[in-house]
Amino acid sequence: MDTALPDLAARNLGGSVLAANDEFFAEKENLIKPGPPVFRPHTFTPKGQEYDGWETRRRRGVPGEDWVIVRLGVPGIPRAIVVDTSFFKGNYPEQATVHGAALTGYPTEAELDAADWVELVPRSPLQGHTQNEFAVRTSLRITHIRLTIHPDGGVARLRVHGEPLPDPRDLVGVPLDLAATASGGRAVQASDGFFSPPDNMLQPGESKYMSDGWETARRRGDGNDWAVLRLTAEAIPRVIEVSTLHYKGNSPGAVTLSGRTADGDWAPLLPRTALLPDTGHRFRVPEPRPVTEIRLDIHPDGGVGRLRVYGPLTTAGRHDLALRWFNALSGAQAKAVLQAHGLSENDSIALLHVRPATQLPAVLRELGRDTFPSPE
């Protein structure tokens, strides 16, 4: 189960709850809180015990089911969905279904109603006070999630773990943090994440407290801790920011960065450099070079609140991102993209038949010169 992937729906990544047919007992916005659910006994409101989640009223024989729609903070390809019913023991839903949709911009309620919703999790039984995990098998890039509960009840959290996949057109001509989850970056490996996981470093904004960053256990012995981060695509890191904000007695003593080149080798980006506690650090990369991943080594251990990696995508990286994005679009979206750039309907349909393409088709490469201009 790919629950180690980023939660694309999380509020701290920009997720939002757009609509629900009922939230009588507890608000729908609770579903995407980044922290785990909590229970405070005897916290009664005029409507009853207040739960940390989304809870609808009893249907009492009224046919139908309850639903909620979530806009993902970061679009991407879902790999695992968690319907967390923590603390809902006698009031959890019997079953749940999850659908996904891919829409551009900021759709209205009518556009959401008319969207082509794809089933991600079929109608499945739920258990109370449990993190109900479901594997997702899809190749589609999703922007919105609809959770349907049968027939009613409460859900504490909804987690949508997946591979972030931004729209490349949003990344052109603007300063780009190549490691940010919102840009498609993510942690792929780490030596340790005892106190908090390395993906925390890639969240928007500055860290709020210690557990909002990446922190390892105290190392007893030789060696050091490290994390490998996949960038948006092949790029040339030029500036690195390492924040140890809130890490006062447990910040790393020093940091080293290296990058994985196209041939798979690791090349130095930043030599071993001392860090200060509770401080934002900014370093220029002495010898910028094209890389697809970076390895952050902290010496010997400790916590990093945020890591920023600024620089342009290479031509190869830009084409790779465009290809992954194009292959993950729904048929209707891909066709619209092609026709918007001057292709006929017949040519667009013919190109769609080659998906998933293994390389950027010539016609799309031509389009890419306008849609994804080189920043180099």
Tokens encoding 300: 């010997």
Could you report the per-residue pLDDT of 124-168, keeping only the tens digit for each?
Answer: 999 999 999 999 999 999 999 999 999 999 999 999 999 999 998
Q: Going by DSSP bridges, is the β-strand pair 154-155/186-190 parallel, antiparallel, or unpaired?
A: unpaired
Choose among 376, 271, 373, 358: nearest CA to 320.
Answer: 358
3-state SS assignment for residue 339: helix
Q: What's this model's pTM, rounded to 2 decimal places?
A: 0.87
The pLDDT of residue 79 is above 60: yes
Distant-in-sequence, close-in-space partners of 147: CB < 8 Å, separation ≥ 6: 31, 67, 68, 70, 83, 96, 97, 98, 155, 158
3-state SS assignment for residue 314: coil
Report yes or no: 199 and 176 within 8 Å, Cβ to Cβ: no
For the residues of 177-197, what is the DSSP string, one character each? BTT-GGGT-EEEEES--SSB-
Could you report the per-residue pLDDT of 44-78, keeping only the tens digit for each?
Answer: 566 666 778 999 999 888 888 999 999 999 999 99
Report the distance separating Cα 34 and Cα 13, nearest Å.
Answer: 9
Could you report the per-residue pLDDT of 247-305, keeping only the tens digit for each?
Answer: 999 999 999 999 999 899 999 999 999 999 999 999 999 999 999 999 999 999 999 99
Report yes or no: 156 and 52 within 8 Å, Cβ to Cβ: yes
Q: How confident is the model at residue 376 (pLDDT cuts 50, 70, 90)?
A: very low
CA-based end-to-end distance of the chain? 39
Mean pLDDT across the chain:
91
